[in-house]
Structure 1
Amino acid sequence: MYRILLYIISVTVLFLCSCKMQTAETGVEEALSKAGGNRKELFQVIRHYQDSGDSLKLKAALFLIENMADKYYLTGNLINEFYTFIDSVYQIKQPEYDIPAIYDAFGNKAIYRDEKPQVNWDVQTLSADFLIQNIEEAFAVWGRPWNKHLTFDEFCEWILPYRVATEIPESWRKLYRERFEPLLQSDTIQTAKQACTIINNELIKLPIHIALDAVLPISLRPSTLADIKFGLCGDYAELALYAMRAVGIPVAIESVSHWGRGNGGHVFNVVYDNDGTWHDFSGAEQNPDEHLVRFRHEMPKVYRETFGKQKGSLAMIHGNEDIPSNFRNPYQQDATGEYPFIEAKDVELTLQIPRNKSFAYLCVFNPQGWFPVAWTQVENGHAVFKNMGPNIVYHAAYFDKGKIQPTGHPFLLDTLGCITFLTPQNEKATLTLERKNPKASNLAYLPPLMIGCRFQGADNADFTDAVTFHTITEEPDFKYITVLVTDSRPVKYVRYQSSDQTWGNMSEVEFYAKGSDTPLKGKVIGKYIPSIYYPRNGADNLFDGDPLTFFHSNDSLSWGGLELEQPTVISRIRYIIRNDDNGIRKGHKYELFYMNNGQWTSLGKQIATKDDEAAYNNVPQGALYWLRDYTKGYEERIFEVKNGIVIWH
């Protein structure tokens, strides 16, 4: 029976999809072969549409089945325990959420956190009714003004799929359609971009709190996302996908697998408009064409996620040659060239790679190793990488023995498409560094607000007799600042008080007695309303010796201080405002490297003897550098030096 049905399927595929016959037939065979006891459910879907005589829906069913073989989801006690937890938390409505504390609570109480989840393959578990219902509901919203431009193949990719990623399968279309379809009743809505904006404006009304990480590396199921209160950027992107595909808006998810000028990556949405153009947006946050433009000089590559295998992907053509793990995914296509504001350029290189290697890669820096973001085929040492984001330092490489192997020297690609190799020279010099990472752009707003903040002493705990030791009158930098105190009056109480323009935002304050190099200790005191954003960031953080923690309040003119053991004359004060703690820290162990012919070469290790300063001698000029901190932290970036000035990349 199986062979007869397989023959019928093959003939059907040949008739309906002759231009894609080999791919479809092979994919369907693979799915049926892997389905095991669930094969009858897949056959039932095919027979249902054969019997109905609806050739288009039959083609749609075959498209889903031929791309199902390696799609899966996770279940088990740990997954169930997590959903019980997160669904409960998502029912709580409040202005802000202490996400780290919430995740810690789950981690500390989870009974099954060490239990391995079960992998469930779609072809072995999904029912015919589930797939048929999905197909029928997808076709029911095709033909609307905002998707009438879609070809059948485009419909299959951007409307039809029953899943987004690796979430537990659910019949989600009705849930989301009933919620969002009433918003699209106006006759003035004629394009996908218009419809997308209307739905996203509704999503924007939801709470959006982006977490830095998640408890479990899973895609949330649709019913859970419907009540989202916080999550990863990918969670909000998937939410937008469900909401919009349910009403027939052709949208997709795209990603920057790794930033070109920073660590980490990004996930966001795109909508396919009626004129055949794609427009980026951020689900529940920013509307079409308002999102990616702020990252235009940080994106080496943009990839679009698909449901169907991409025949030209590296995963499909690499043969027996081993390739990096992030290119083993056949469900992605390069979308970089579709964004004019990226000003993408082609890079042509002559490479020295082993003869048995057919593929080369362009990589961006990561402290864990060079990360491949683009690939190309190499012919006689000649390689052309299409559509690379400019203003980024790249390193060419090949893949061997399970690792990226850089070759040659790194180079900077500029906006004109010119490349400048960063090659170490014989000339050497002394290099003094203040940081291991560029200043945090998300804190750039802060220094102007710190003007007016002050440091005081008093004999009374309420500071009614306060004497002001120092007032910040200029924008402070993100490093330790020492000020001398001229007032010789002994005080029992000392404090830092924020200005009327800011809410704490001070990391460390050290008061010193005359003739002492040890910060004064005492009982922590203060007057402030705890921050709704950082509820655990009280006055204790001012004196904990950690420049990464900071005092934050929900009111201005807030203060935190110390009750000293006895009245003391204050001779100096050292402080550092809220910062990313990427400055040089006294006592930390550092090592400076420069890139030389594909290898990081050490210029020596040292223990920093002071804050915000580390000096290295005999540093080759013209190279690409990397300063490692072995003591604490993971945020580190590469840099070059021109005329004594550090230029971060």
Structure 2
Amino acid sequence: MKFKTILFFGISLLLISCSMVKYTEQAKLTLKSSEKNKKELKKAAKYFHKIDQSDRLDALLFLYENMPSHSFVKIGLFDENEVEVTWNFSEFKDYDEAKTAMDSLEVEFGELHWKKKEKRIDHQTISSEFLIDNIDLAFKAWEEKPWSKKYDYTVFKEYILPYRGSNEPIESWRSWRGYFMDSYKDIPAQMFDQTDIIEAAQLINKDLTSWFKFNSKYYLHPTDQGLFEMLMSKEGRCEDITNLTIYALRANGIGATSDYTPHWANAGNNHAWNVIILPDGKATPIMGNDSDPSRYKLSSKAAKVYRKVFSEQKDNLAFKLMNNEKAPAWLSGKCYKDVTHEYTKVFDVNIALDCEIPDSTNYLYLCVFNSGEWKAIHWAKINNKAANFTDMGVDIAYLPMFYVDKKLFPAGYPFILTKNGDKKILNGNNLFEEEVVLHSVTKKNIDRSNKDGRTVFFEKGEKYELFYWEDGWESFGTQIATEKPLRFNKLPAKRLYWLVKENSNEEERIFTYDNNKQIWW
């Protein structure tokens, strides 16, 4: 009897062990921090384990391992007293109208700012039903679409399986009325080669282009849109377009994500665009909803290009910062890869520091000039008063800076990284002997000018101020514009300059001055 009892318990323990989900260590950490949502996460895992679908369970655990780094933040508009102000964004037809309305609100309520109202971290809010549905439909597309069978599991789980494109609200875009799968079910019949991923993507993209449009007013939309909002608005900014394209492509078994530059190096703003991931892991750029694959070209210079991925990248700065150490927002993400070398010629840049390093500062940042200020584009660890920056885009002006108390401070002289990888330091000590003659505040205007070099692009009667860089922007004086070029004498030579119209939006570009010409950066 005793032997039978021991045997019974032994078999029972074996059966229980076999029936338990084996979580990876990282997935266990996700469960531990999922708070009240642990039941939902376990429910999804038990579902795939019970029906003996180990591939889908493995895919689920991949999502769990990386889920804590993904979220949606609900944002509101607040006044100086932290009282929320109603912002009816959908009422406006374009950016100018929305900006005018925003300015009117500031007249009424004082200076306004965006503020986080609620953060919905994925693993603490996502449902088991959503996860099961997302995984089943992702596998269905991968297994059934004729062009998808070339993908291996590694590419599948990073670029087809994930349920979000950026930081948008989570929505069931794979299954909602079968929208993307049903809309493009007849595509194979239209193709010359049903296994051609690029051809399939072109056909899907062509349809998206027919009904979803770019509208700059969405620069004043506080978050990326979800699918349902996009289906209603039928317009958005670059991030919305890339997400919509990701939904349509992934739903049809095409590996897709978005690449982005946080700050253009020779213009204002930033940009995001799609890439189609091929079976060998290589990427083909495309501006979703705008151009065909292989023909897309960046409109400005990129010092850095990063790729959004779902998995945490342990070499990123976020995993290296010490306790309480902060980084500029764009560089604090955990789920991006540096792919600059896929877009432009790159060189490593070594910076030797001659200045004192602020207390508790371990990292140096390279910055580009964007919309009137220097903005961090890459980081490097400081070792023995030096820092080495990897894969920097060329023919660009940079400034090394420290990040202290959430502000950037100069750590050296600005320089040009030339096309040959040389650093041209802008720290001249002499003055120009000849008169400096200026024709414009941007290169775009110069490009349109007459070849005689006498055409000017200033607003007559407006005041312009010339700055040169010396540990900060130093004013060299102001002039009122006429029909003639602006002329300055005894200007410090071999420096970086910035000519700004009074009360402008500070989109004027920086320049150097060589051979009697403005050289734009």
The TM-score by the shorter chain falls in which range?
A: 0.7 to 0.9
Q: Is the 8 A contact 1:591 1:629 kept in 2?
A: yes
2:318 to 294, 315, 318: 315
**1:399 corresponds to which letter in structure 2?**
Y
User: Is 1:248 matched up with 2:253?
Assistant: yes
Pairwise CA distance, 1:254? 0.8
What is the rounded CA distance, in whole Å, between the counterparts of 1:146 and 1:327 in structure 2?
A: 35
What is the 5 A alignment of 1:95-134?
100-101=96-97, 117-134=117-134
Paired position in structure 1 for 2:368: 364
1:397 to 386, 395, 401: 401
Paired position in structure 2 for 1:543: none
Pairwise CA distance, 1:475? 11
Paired position in structure 2 for 1:38: 37
Percent identity, aligned pairs only, is: 28
Paired position in structure 2 for 1:176: 180
Pairwise CA distance, 1:11? 7.9
Paired position in structure 1 for 2:466: 592
What is the rounded CA distance, in whole Å, between the counterparts of 1:45 and 1:188 in structure 2?
A: 37
The structure with the larger Rg is 1
Pairwise CA distance, 1:300? 0.7
User: Is 1:200 matched up with 2:214?
Assistant: no
What is the 5 A alignment of 1:412-423?
412-423=416-427
What is the rounded CA distance, in whole Å, between the counterparts of 2:429 and 2:459 in structure 1?
A: 26
Change (3 A) 1:244 1:635: same
Change (3 A) 1:414 1:106: closer
Paired position in structure 2 for 1:221: 226
Paired position in structure 1 for 2:384: 380
User: Is 1:239 matched up with 2:244?
Assistant: yes
What is the rounded CA distance, in whole Å, between the counterparts of 1:179 and 1:475 in structure 2?
A: 56
What is the rounded CA distance, in whole Å, between the counterparts of 1:280 and 1:419 in structure 2?
A: 30
Secondary structure of the residue that 1:160 maps to in structure 2?
coil
Pairwise CA distance, 1:115? 10
What is the rounded CA distance, in whole Å, between the counterparts of 1:351 and 1:146 in structure 2?
A: 52
Secondary structure of the residue that 1:318 maps to in structure 2?
coil
Paired position in structure 2 for 1:517: none
Query: Under a length normalisation based on structure 2, what TM-score does the superposition of the two structures give?
Result: 0.82
Pairwise CA distance, 1:118? 4.0
Query: Under a length normalisation based on structure 1, what TM-score does the superposition of the two structures give?
Result: 0.67
Secondary structure of the residue that 1:178 maps to in structure 2?
helix
Paired position in structure 2 for 1:569: none
What is the 5 A alignment of 1:404-553?
404-429=408-433, 430-440=435-445, 444=448, 479=456
Q: Is the 8 A contact 1:594 1:623 kept in 2?
A: yes
Secondary structure of the residue that 1:292 maps to in structure 2?
coil
Q: Is the 8 A contact 1:211 1:230 kept in 2?
A: no
1:289 to 294, 302, 316: 294
Pairwise CA distance, 1:585? 4.5
**2:64 corresponds to which letter in structure 1?**
I
Q: Which runs of 5+ in 1 are unaligned?
A: 1-6, 15-20, 90-96, 449-473, 480-581
**2:278 corresponds to which letter in structure 1?**
D
Secondary structure of the residue that 1:196 maps to in structure 2?
helix
What is the rounded CA distance, in whole Å, between the counterparts of 1:103 and 1:427 in structure 2?
A: 43
Listed one character per residue, the Cα deviations across residues 353-407 of structure 1 (whole Å, up to 9, x for unaligned) are: 6285432221111354311111222322343322211111111223223222222
Paired position in structure 2 for 1:161: 162
Listed one character per residue, the Cα deviations across residues 408-457 of structure 1 (whole Å, up to 9, x for unaligned) are: 2211122222221122222334423333222359x95xx89xxxxxxxxx
**1:344 corresponds to which letter in structure 2?**
V
Change (3 A) 1:477 1:253: farther
What is the rounded CA distance, in whole Å, between the counterparts of 1:75 and 1:301 in structure 2?
A: 28
What is the rounded CA distance, in whole Å, between the counterparts of 2:304 and 2:168 in structure 1?
A: 26
Change (3 A) 1:10 1:72: farther
What is the rounded CA distance, in whole Å, between the counterparts of 2:385 and 2:505 in structure 1?
A: 39
Pairwise CA distance, 1:285? 0.7
Pairwise CA distance, 1:583? 2.3
**1:427 corresponds to which letter in structure 2?**
L
Secondary structure of the residue that 1:330 maps to in structure 2?
coil
1:644 to 508, 516, 519: 516
What is the rounded CA distance, in whole Å, between the counterparts of 1:161 and 1:305 in structure 2?
A: 11
What is the rounded CA distance, in whole Å, between the counterparts of 1:613 and 1:213 in structure 2?
A: 37
Q: Is the 8 A contact 1:586 1:607 kept in 2?
A: no
What is the rounded CA distance, in whole Å, between the counterparts of 1:398 and 1:116 in structure 2?
A: 26
Secondary structure of the residue that 1:166 maps to in structure 2?
coil
**2:336 corresponds to which letter in structure 1?**
Q
Paired position in structure 2 for 1:350: 352
Pairwise CA distance, 1:288? 1.5
What is the rounded CA distance, in whole Å, between the counterparts of 2:64 and 2:455 in structure 1?
A: 56
Pairwise CA distance, 1:159? 0.8
Judging by fraction of residues, say which structure has more helix: 2
Listed one character per residue, the Cα deviations across residues 513-562 of structure 1 (whole Å, up to 9, x for unaligned) are: xxxxxxxxxxxxxxxxxxxxxxxxxxxxxxxxxxxxxxxxxxxxxxxxxx
Q: Is the 8 A contact 1:436 1:628 kept in 2?
A: yes
Change (3 A) 1:193 1:368: same
Aligned-pair Cα RMSD in Å = 3.6
Listed one character per residue, the Cα deviations across residues 558-582 of structure 1 (whole Å, up to 9, x for unaligned) are: xxxxxxxxxxxxxxxxxxxxxxxx7
What is the rounded CA distance, in whole Å, between the counterparts of 1:404 and 1:9 in structure 2?
A: 54
